[in-house]
Amino acid sequence: MTNFTTDWPPAYTIRNSTRAKQVILQISPRRGLVVIVPIQRRHPKIEEVLLQKRQWIQKNLSHIQTDQQVNPPIFIPPTSLHLHAIGKTLTLDYLKTDHKYIKIHQIKNKKSLLLCNPDLEHNSEHNLEQTIEFSSDELSYLILGPIEQPLLLIKALKRFLKQIAQEYLIPLLRRLSLEIALPYKTASIRSQSTLWGSCTAAKNISLNVKLLFLPQELTRYVLLHELCHTQHLNHSNRYWTLLKRFDPNCLIHRKMLRKASQYLPTWIEDPTN
């Protein structure tokens, strides 16, 4: 185990920011030390900043380490998933079996939705993915397999949610694109740690699977936000003027989005899974 009081420099993650005006340090149990670096601004070397804040960094990392030793995180399998963005609630039941991998069945018709082996993503013999069709606001699923293995179970749930996001968020993006006449090239579902979505110069949009848990107005804001990037890749005045045409409350939604982690289950934010 890492000794935060002697090992230097500690491990850290760099995050670029268009809003930051100086180098910012953040420490959390989930992400550890994060160094936020302003884009297109001259700033001191990261190592120099860390050295200046060494006492503060070591103190807070040490507290986190102590808390995790005294109260190690325990994963409790969720019995329901409230997907506010699409107006659905999924109820989950679990049954330990001798299967090698996790299977998720819709209880209504016993249709196998996902056979998940996270280490064999591209092997169709071990991974069967079929279209999900929802007909009600509350749906029930039975999860079978080695459910006592938290890492395997979390990976299965995340892959399951990605499939749902593919079925719902991508069509929603397509409808909004047609509605506001801002076309994109491709769209995909990812599980980013810090981004709700992104858009490339080639107009390829990626959406975070975690958007499923956000209120519909915030999810819509993120989708509109990325569609407007097909015209302006920056956050210039022209960009915000365009976004305000489609979302007059975009600045309010932008502020709300900064606190949107409150809607997320803790297990989906764990970057190690």
Query: For residue 75, what pLDDT band results from cuts at 50, 70 and 90?
Result: confident
Q: With 90 as the cut, is the pLDDT of residue 163 above it?
A: yes
Could you tell me which residues come within 8 angstroms of residue 40 by beta carbon, excluding any fewer than 6 positions away? Answer: none
Q: Is the pLDDT of residue 171 over 90?
A: yes
| Separation between Cα atoms, residue 61 and residue 70, nearest integer Å | 14
Amino acid 170: pLDDT = 97
| Upper half-sphere CA count for residue 16 (Cβ side, 13 Å) | 5
Q: Give the tokens for residue 207.
A: 């959406």
Q: Quick one: pLDDT at residue 72?
A: 56
pTM exceeds cut of 0.85: no
pLDDT for position 62: 83
Amino acid at 223: L
